[in-house]
Structure 1
Amino acid sequence: MSTSSPTSPVSVSRLGYVNFETPDVARLTEYYTKVMGFALVDESPQQVFLTTGADHHCVIIDKAEAAAGRSIVGYEIHEELDDAERRLKAAGLHGERRTDIGPGTPDVLVLTEPATGATLHLYQEQDPSGVRPTFDQRPSKLGHVAAYTTSTNGMRSFYEDAMGFRWSDSIGDFFVFLRCNGDHHAANFMQSDEMKGMHHIAYEARDLTHLQTMIDNLARHGYQLYWGPGRHAVGHNIFTYHKDPDGNHIELFTQLDVMLDEDKGYFEPRPWHEHFPMRPTTWEADAAAMNMWGPIPSGAIKR
């Protein structure tokens, strides 16, 4: 029996998966399996499920007329779906219970993200993939997903009040970073009245050596970086960015800040931090917040 208040937020534990729509399923699948090293778990001519590890999937590829990223985002929760559904309803949010979503997720609570219209999936756990870890170019996990929104304040309120996320950092009044566990952010949002949809998606490398392996494999297959390596000041992760075959922006990163103790409220001390202890803050909107190591290339950050 749940001890949570009917009006308390859902308890999201981690980012689980993200969906891509593409007119060329085979091409995007080849990118994820041959270039990124993901394991293919399940497939049909219309849909493909891929994973980096124990979960059934962390990436879904769907056949569509036009390319798009982040049409669906799945989050694992700590609690029973009945409790989550009841609290969302008490907060005025409608969720639909589904058992026909697809392989790996037999029971899912489906709701719509405000402002963006993206579909959110809440689930307790996925079926196991049976895939063993490797030491090749495969990322260690899906790290975070960034999207455009017409209101960062509104999106922050939704994720904090309804989904139980915590604020990690902001850049000015137009970019907000939110966490659901110790990782600095699982979701981040940039405010824009013109841009829509996914901003970028990020996959984690274990360390710098692993990141080098991933980048070398990109080059081997003809994919070049358009930004990085560099170090973001916000989150302090070392980053690289490239585009997948559909033009989606893909970040590969390592050394992201970690919040070890929510009660104390500061990130694990690192020698590259500006403050000790390093706490959530609003950063000045300048190049240093985006890249401590150098400039921002033209067109890298579109608003």
Structure 2
Amino acid sequence: MVNQDGAAAPAVRVSKLGYVGFVTPDLDRLVEYYTQVLGFSLVDFSPQGAFVTTGTDHHCVVLTPGEAHARSVVGYEVFEDLADAQRRLSDLGYPVQRRTDIGPGTPDVLVLTEPETGVELHLMTSQDPSGAEGTAPLRPTKLGHVAAFTPDLAPTQAFYQDVLGFKWSDTVGDFFVFLRCNADHHAANFMASRKRTGMHHVAYEMRDPNHLITVLDHLAKHGYRLHWGPGRHGPGHNLFTYHKDPDGNTIELFTQIDQVVDEAKGYWEPRPWHETYPMGPRTWEVDIATVNQWGIVNEQELDH
């Protein structure tokens, strides 16, 4: 199968990031953090795990008890019929299973393994509804993106673009890539590293700067302090803050991320803080303004 330009079409086309999983040594503590501190809605809970959401999807975060492991699983929604997607993935040599026992809210899922990292990926056409009503004052609008380390950037980027249909958004130097599956600047980003593994951070979107400030005040009241931010990234141009959850995972709360409203034009919707007009995907230099346009750098973010 090829595109109109003659290039090979991806096996599947991811439409959005669905959920991310965390294994936690203290399930009750992490459930309390997500529901009482970040305002997520608890949809399903048992000693085997908890499912929390920010909106109409059954869940966007899965919490299971065990030895701490961030980004234990990542779920994506796809456009394709699952039978067709399974065939295409199998034809490319990727072992894939179709399962109905993954958990509540996801009755039909394709399971495969992310190359280079071994993380389990779930592909589905949709989730069951969560039943959550309205917009809570604190609750983020959605799960925005998940960033991870990979030992080799090129094959990871190729897998996401050539197999899952992601598009390239930006690269920092030769070690940090941002990939999108819809209008948002990135849903997945990867940092090449030979000494660090696992998740870099998980990010939840806030409605606007006022919403972000409100939640930061709520975090402070519960004893959670920022370890970086507020600031504005170069790639994606989102306002960002970072803090640690009770397990020590890095959590980004952000707003104002770049949008591609017309893929045919191929540039970000113009914003006053953009460096050029129009502004499209690019390779950024490794400098202070790239990491944070406001000039304050967390050195750990450049340590790969």
Equivalent AA in structure 2 for residue 154 of structure 1: P
Query: Aligned match of 2:54 in 26, 30, 52?
Result: 52
CA shift, 1:67, in A, is: 1.2
Q: In structure 2, what is the Cα distance between the partners aligned to 1:172 and 1:299?
A: 16
For structure 1, the 5+ residue unaligned runs are none
User: Equivalent residue for 2:142?
Assistant: 141
SS in 2 for 1:266: coil
Q: In structure 2, what is the Cα distance between the partners aligned to 1:298 and 1:233?
A: 16
Cα shift readout 1:182-208 (whole Å, capped 9, x = no counterpart):
000000000100100000000000101
The answer on whether the counterparts of 2:231 and 2:296 sit within 8 Å (CA) in structure 1 is no
Equivalent AA in structure 2 for residue 56 of structure 1: H
> Which residues in structure 2 correspond to 1:124-273 (within 5 Å)?
124-273=125-274
Q: In structure 2, what is the Cα distance between the partners aligned to 1:6 and 1:102?
A: 34
Equivalent AA in structure 2 for residue 53 of structure 1: G
Counting aligned pairs with the same residue, the percent is: 61
Q: In structure 1, what is the Cα distance between the partners aligned to 2:134 and 2:176?
A: 34
Q: In structure 1, what is the Cα distance between the partners aligned to 2:267 and 2:300?
A: 33
Cα shift readout 1:99-140 (whole Å, capped 9, x = no counterpart):
000000000000000011100000011000110132411100
User: Equivalent residue for 1:35?
Assistant: 37
Q: In structure 2, what is the Cα distance between the partners aligned to 1:260 and 1:286?
A: 28
CA shift, 1:87, in A, is: 1.2
Cα shift readout 1:143-167 (whole Å, capped 9, x = no counterpart):
0000000111111100000000000
The answer on whether the counterparts of 1:6 and 1:87 sit within 8 Å (CA) in structure 2 is no
Cα shift readout 1:211-233 (whole Å, capped 9, x = no counterpart):
01111110010000010000001
Equivalent AA in structure 1 for residue 58 of structure 2: H
RMSD: 1.6
Q: In structure 2, what is the Cα distance between the partners aligned to 1:256 and 1:7?
A: 28
The answer on whether the counterparts of 1:177 and 1:189 sit within 8 Å (CA) in structure 2 is yes
Equivalent AA in structure 1 for residue 130 of structure 2: S
Q: In structure 2, what is the Cα distance between the partners aligned to 1:198 and 1:50?
A: 19
SS in 1 for 2:218: helix
CA shift, 1:41, in A, is: 0.4
Q: In structure 2, what is the Cα distance between the partners aligned to 1:289 and 1:299?
A: 14
CA shift, 1:300, in A, is: 4.1
Q: In structure 2, what is the Cα distance between the partners aligned to 1:3 and 1:239?
A: 38
Query: Aligned match of 1:23 in 6, 22, 25?
Result: 25
For structure 2, the 5+ residue unaligned runs are none
The answer on whether the counterparts of 2:10 and 2:161 sit within 8 Å (CA) in structure 1 is no
Q: In structure 2, what is the Cα distance between the partners aligned to 1:299 and 1:8?
A: 35
Equivalent AA in structure 2 for residue 76 of structure 1: E
SS in 2 for 1:74: strand
Cα shift readout 1:59-85 (whole Å, capped 9, x = no counterpart):
000111x21111100001112101111
CA shift, 1:9, in A, is: 2.7
Query: Aligned match of 1:11 in 13, 18, 24?
Result: 13
Equivalent AA in structure 1 for residue 129 of structure 2: P
Equivalent AA in structure 2 for residue 192 of structure 1: S
Q: In structure 2, what is the Cα distance between the partners aligned to 1:176 and 1:28?
A: 29
User: Equivalent residue for 1:295?
Assistant: 296
User: Equivalent residue for 2:277?
Assistant: 276
